[in-house]
A and B are shown apart, each in its own frame.
Chain A
Amino acid sequence: MAVKILTEHINVPGINTFDVYRKMGGYAAVEKALKKMTPEEIVEEVKKSGVRGRGGAGFPMGMKWSFLAKPEGVPRYLVCNADESEPGTFKDHFLMREIPHLLIEGMIVSSFALGANKSFIYVRGELMYVIQILEKAIAEAKAAGFLGKNILGSSYDLELVVQPGGGAYICGEETALLESLEGKRGNPRNKPPFPAVKGLYQSPTVVNNVESIANTPWIVNNGGDAYASLGVGRSTGTKLISASGHINKPGVYEIPLGITVEDFIYADEWCGGIRPGHHLKAVIAGGSSVPILPANLILNLANGDKRLMTYESLSDGGFATGTMLGSGGFIAMDETSCVVRNTWTFARFYHHESCGQCSPCREGTGWMDKVLERIEHGKGNMHDIDLLVDVAKKIEGNTICPLGDAAAWPVASAIRHFRDEFEWHVKHPQEATQPGAVYRGAMELV
């Protein structure tokens, strides 16, 4: 059995309560951190672990922590990004709902390591029921002396605040999140200055994803080297994958980084294969923003080797033949799926979620939404396909935050790999607009 860092006890009855969580060894990391370690030692262990940001960007967490400025007399903040909104991604939702104390414990050791005395968990507002679960967990931890003043008799004080969002994908971008936490519209900030220097209330701030923070208790307990020994190369540890779409067992899986994509899709331990009687057509491996790949390319690299569930292997081949691990939002599509329609729903999503600050994104996402809508509804022309590629190119890299790129990549990659299907919609509008009509051309299914 593979090592489970986050979900080992997730099925234990009552694990959402303090008592059961504690009985299963919970909060041991807080005791160890506060009694036996210095903040610097914890940062060092996290650096050694090689754990990378689990929200999607994959930036080394320890390095992010080490950038935190520490001017005298200025408060520092840790903010947990629980604004999970990337289509295809629901792992943080699952983790917070099932085992809330893991995040609370991670917040305590991480806040101690960073020297923060007030830390925030920014949860997307739609998950109000999860906010209630977290607030209950915080109250339990506080009653047991793990939060508040002089935690476990030490000189360390910490208060945790759970903040609801208001329904805006853009607030998952860390500077938009900080704006939102300050009670403003979620418009991303220009960088520099980076949050590590001027973040929440213009103070040094670290923003980390739920899953990233949830890894820290294990790292404190077992050491960074033990964490780094799991996984493959620079993809250390485990990763929560949100699996959705046409698989037999949708859900959240904690995988050791390094298993093959094929195993992940077909093994009974994970997704259990494509639903009966159907075949895999395409996969979006890391949330809606990452390039879509046809079945043969998600399972195998361009050189024929098996593709692995790691940051490096999934991006092997660049955007020509690869994709990204992203947030781990793994969407499997069988032959009944229409790539044009799916691309359109994503384009509509980005159009809806663009904050409107940068013209290429505000205007470009609207163009892509409208052009895709007309192709999908049999009103497109051949020039539209190139127009989409052109608009995507003009958004990419030309915006303050990565939402522009996130909107461009799905469209560009869908046309790169499924151009036939777009052309079929243009050439056969009547056929393509029949209910449930899907292109069944020369595409390779697995």
Chain B
Amino acid sequence: MTDTTTPITFTPERLAKAQEIIARYPAGKQKSALLPLLHLAQEQYGWVSSDVMDYVAGLLSILPIEVYEVASFYTMFHLDPVGKHVIEYCRTGPCCLMGGEDVYGHLKQKLGIDTGETTPDGKFTLKEVECLAACGWGPVFQIREKYYMNLTNGKVDEIIEELSKD
């Protein structure tokens, strides 16, 4: 959850990174930095609240609505609080052919939650996504930047147990 008592601001490292990203584009085209900055913000806060979006709008000298309309278009941005580990599993054809639906059923059962839900301890959120471009290695899910491929029920158990430790 976002701590609403402290004002939203990037860490010094992320702020430097944000400035470096903004400088990549031609003068006056800083809005191009919007998606990279939203990723950076989500990396820091876990999700993208309206306060975070307002902050990003300020960094880019654009209107907050320009950030809202973009953040709500792209499915990678979480507009509501999420658990520590967001498991995004691919529900598209090829993963289903490889037994994805059974594996995801097992995953839901193991965590005791359905897609779109977060475990009561706040550790895991399940999110159903479309094709992750890893069809030959399906079934697949992604947690942050890491891909977990060729999933089986056994592998799911191992991954969840490992992540439950921290």
Contacts and interface: CB of A to CB of B under 8 A. Distances in A.
A307 interface: no
A85 B39 contact: no
Interface in A88-137: 88-90, 92-93, 118, 124-129, 132
Contact of B26 (A201, A337, A352): A201
A180 interface: yes
B97 interface: yes
A244 B75 CA distance: 25
A126 B132 contact: yes
Interface in B132-147: 132-138, 142, 144-147
B131 A86 contact: yes
B82 interface: no
Interface string B65-102: 01001100111110000000000100111101110000
A89 B133 contact: yes
A273 B77 CA distance: 40
Interface residues of A, number: 58
A184 interface: yes
Interface in A292-336: 329, 331, 333
A246 B97 contact: yes
B112 interface: no
A345 B36 CA distance: 30
A185 B77 CA distance: 13
Interface residues of B, number: 45
B32 A182 contact: yes
A295 to B, nearest CB: 15
A29 B36 CA distance: 31
Interface stretch (A157-165, A214-222, A401-409): A157-165
A227 to B, nearest CB: 26
A128 B143 CA distance: 11
Contacts, number: 146
B97 A349 contact: no
Interface in A236-271: 242-246, 250-252
B70 A250 contact: no
A166 B77 CA distance: 7
Contacts of A124: 133
> In this complex, which of B29, B35, B60, B147 has the most chain A Cβ atoms within 10 angstroms of its Cβ?
B35
Nearest to A83: B133
A166 B72 CA distance: 10
A90 B93 contact: no
A235 interface: no
Interface string B12-52: 00000000000011100101111110110000000000000
Nearest to B28: A201
A163 B35 contact: yes
Contacts of B32: 163, 181-183
Given A165-B74, A244-B138, A87 B96 contact: no
B96 A342 contact: yes
A169 B132 CA distance: 10
B137 to A, nearest CB: 7
A401 to B, nearest CB: 15
A201 B145 contact: no
Nearest to B37: A183
A349 B92 contact: yes
A9 B138 CA distance: 25
Contacts of A349: 92-93, 130-131
A341 B34 CA distance: 38
A355 B75 CA distance: 12
Given A125-B35, A185-B70, A251 B96 contact: no
Contact of A166 (B73, B131, B145): B73
Interface string B110-134: 0000000000000000000111111
23 contacts: A87-B92, A88-B135, A90-B136, A90-B137, A92-B133, A125-B76, A126-B88, A128-B144, A165-B74, A182-B31, A183-B31, A183-B32, A183-B35, A183-B62, A185-B69, A185-B70, A201-B29, A242-B135, A244-B138, A331-B93, A342-B97, A345-B92, A352-B130
The 3 A-B pairs at the shortest CB distance, nearest first, are namely A166-B74, A167-B76, A183-B31
